Amino acid sequence: MSTFKAPKGTYDLIPPYSAKYLAVRDAISAPLRKAGYGYIETPGFEDVNLFARGVGESTDIVTKEMFTLTTKGGTNLALRPEGTASVLRAALEASLHKKGNLPVKLWYSGSYYRYERPQAGRYRHFSQVGAEAIGAEDPALDAELIILADQAYRTLGLRDFRILLNSLGDKECRPVYREALQAFLRGLDLDEETVRRAEINPLRVLDDKRAEVQKQLVGAPMLRDYLCDACKAYHEEVRALITAAGVAFEDDEKLVRGLDYYTRTTFEFVHGGLGSQSAVGGGGRYDGLSEMIGGPALPSVGWALGVDRTVLALEAEGVELDIPAATSVFAVALGEAKPVLFGLVTELRKAGVAADISYGGKGLKGAMKDANRSGARFAVIAGDRDLAEGVVQLKDMESGEQSAVALAEVVEVLRAKLA
């Protein structure tokens, strides 16, 4: 056993369990790729001010959860706690908004870091797949992203999730609501930190999960009553497009999400099988974020879906993913047959067949145990006598049937059988 362990709140992905994570990432990204989203990858750390400005100084992410460090040159950096700010920064730096038709549609996958209190579904290192549509204000984009996420989850076999939807208004109508909400909050018995938060961004108080705070929020003014006509019309169009696509959702007037940059559309995917950490993903529109981080006005919308929590949701529903075996053919070499079968395995791999071979000079019994553990569909077995006759023994690992096949023909025979 190693002297060292994974840091608290993190985890290692080990085969075969790790195959679930790969399958979830592929399933989430597949609809995005088909909808014109290109892949983007950003550094695991950024200038700390990117998140302080973009995510928001009043958020728990910035005030409590960021992992920060100072380089030898004195630069303050943060491990990325979320993906949107980094992706938008990269798009602006590369001037993607100037190189073609808007919106710029991007998807990404990677690890993110927050100093959380570790518990099931909440880690200090976690994995997400995200999507951003940058540079266009169009209800169809908001609807498209929600529909694509719904499609990804249903492709995986998830059924017991719900989509919550709300509108947070814009720079025209939200200031009026902000004043009304702050006036209400000033009359409550709140702790010093929550009072400070209410002065910076009072909507964040609505997102407070503590029962003693939620109890006092009964009767708080609702944002829906303050939406301007333009925001109401925009939200109704998003709702109509989602409904027309056959995607069910629930209106949630208290849905705020935990980031300061959201405007208008905001949404969340929740699952009842995850306990207190019910959100498996979410997102929304962030029309002012580009300007917050020094760019031009670029209205945008996006989401991030948690790979970790999606896997937990699948397990809660008892969904078994159809994950192909890593190996289709397993070679067992006896006597002096190792060089020939090693060459055969190389040929099979070049022909697109997943193949492996027993290592370490094991006998027939030990090598066949390896073949069974690999999940291979076929085993190719050969010893000195077989090679002298120019054949190998081909064994069907499901039926147990075994037959001799000419060595020169085995690649084509296997390709045909596996097809």
Q: What is the dihedral of CA 254, 260, 265, 267, to 10 degrees?
A: -60
Average pLDDT, the chain: 91
Task: Examine residue 103 and say whether the peptide bond preceding it is cis (omega within 30 degrees of 0).
Answer: yes
Q: Quick count: other Cβ atoms within 10 Å of Cβ 15?
A: 8
Q: Are residues 54 and 162 in the same domain?
A: yes
Comparing 3-12, 122-131, 191-200, the range with the smallest average pLDDT is 191-200
pLDDT of the residue at 217: 87
Q: Based on the domain organization, do 277 and 409 belong to the same domain? A: no
For the CA atoms of the chain, what is the radius of gyration? Answer: 27
Classify residue 193: in a domain, yes or no. Answer: no
> pLDDT digits over 265-288, tens only?
999 999 988 876 789 999 999 998
Query: How far apart are the two ends of the chain, measured CA to CA in Å?
Result: 42
Using one digit for the tens of pLDDT, what is the confidence trace for 116-139? 887 777 889 999 999 999 999 999
Are 313 and 338 in a shared domain?
A: no
Q: Which two tokens stand for residue 182?
A: 């702050």
Confidence of residue 19 (pLDDT cuts 50, 70, 90): very high
Does 68 share its domain with 105? yes
Residue 250 in marked binding region? no
Give residue-wise pLDDT tens across range 243-273.
999 999 999 988 877 666 788 999 999 998 8
CB atoms within 10 A of CB 26: 15
Q: What is the largest CA-CA distance in the chain?
A: 92
Whichever domain contains 51, its CATH number is: 3.30.930.10
Domain boundary among the residues 287, 317, 347 is at 317
State mean pLDDT over 217-233.
90
Does 233 lie in the same domain as 261? yes
161-167 sheet: strands from edge to edge: 38-39, 104-113, 125-134, 300-306, 279-285, 263-271, 161-167, 250-251
Q: Is 261 annotated as a binding residue?
A: yes
Is 31 found in the same domain as 154?
yes
265 known ligand binder: no
pLDDT over 90 percentage in the chain: 69
Domain count, the chain: 2
Distance set, CA 185 to CA 56, 219, 315, 399, 406 (Å): 20, 11, 41, 71, 82
Q: How many CB atoms lie within 10 A of CB 186?
A: 12
Residue 216 marked as a ligand binder:
no
Tokens representing 356 are 């492996």
**In whole angstroms, what is the distance from residue 197 CA to residue 200 CA?**
5
CATH number, domain at 337?
3.40.50.800
Same domain, 384 and 283: no
- The type of residue at 410 is V
Q: Which of 302, 291, 220, 240 is nearest to 265 (CA)?
A: 302
**Residue 236 known to bind ligand:** no
pLDDT classification of 193: cutoffs 50, 70, 90: confident
User: 3-state secondary structure string, the chain?
Assistant: CCCCCCCCCCCCCCCCCHHHHHHHHHHHHHHHHHCCCEECCCCCEEEHHHHHHHCCCCCHHHHHHCCEEECCCCCEEEECCCCHHHHHHHHHHCCHHHCCCCCEEEEEEEEEECCCCCECCECCEEEEEEEEEECCCCHHHHHHHHHHHHHHHHHHCCCCEEEEEEECCCCCCHHHHHHHHHHHHCCCCCCHHHHHHHHHCCHHHHCCCCHHHHHHCCCCCCHHHHCCHHHHHHHHHHHHHHHHCCCCCEECCCCCCCCCCCEEEEEEEEEHHHCCCCEEEEEEECCCHHHHCCCCCCCEEEEEEEHHHHHHHHHHHCCCCCCCCCCCEEEEECCCCHHHHHHHHHHHHHCCCCEEECCCCCCHHHHHHHHHHHCCCEEEEECHHHHHCCEEEEEECCCCCEEEEEHHHHHHHHHHHHC
Residue 293 lies in a domain: yes
Query: Quick one: pLDDT band at residue 100, thresholds 50, 70, 90?
Result: confident
Provide the pLDDT confidence category of residue 63 given band limits of 50, 70 and 90: low
Percentage of the chain beyond pLDDT 70 is: 96
- Pairing status of strand 329-333 against strand 378-382: parallel
Do the domain assignments include residue 362?
Answer: yes
| pTM reported for the whole predicted model | 0.89
d(CA 90, CA 87): 5
* CA atoms within 13 A of residue 347's CA, in its CB half-sphere: 16
56 pLDDT higher than 80: no
Ligand-binding annotation for 294, yes or no, is no
**Domain range enclosing 70:** 18-173+227-317
346 and 310 belong to one structural domain: no
82 annotated ligand-binding residue:
yes
The answer on 256 and 235 residing in a single domain is yes
Pick 349 or 221 by higher pLDDT.
349
For the stretch 322-353, pLDDT in tens is 888 889 999 999 999 999 999 999 999 999 99
Can you tell me the distance from the alpha carbon of 371 to that of 398, in angstroms, rounded to the nearest whole number?
12
Say if 389 falls within a structural domain: yes
The whole-number average pLDDT for the span 345-366 is 94
Q: Are residues 238 and 344 in the same domain?
A: no
Out of 317, 350, 383, a domain closes at 317
Please tell me the predicted confidence (pLDDT) of residue 106. 98
Q: Are 29 and 107 in contact (CB under 8 A)?
A: yes
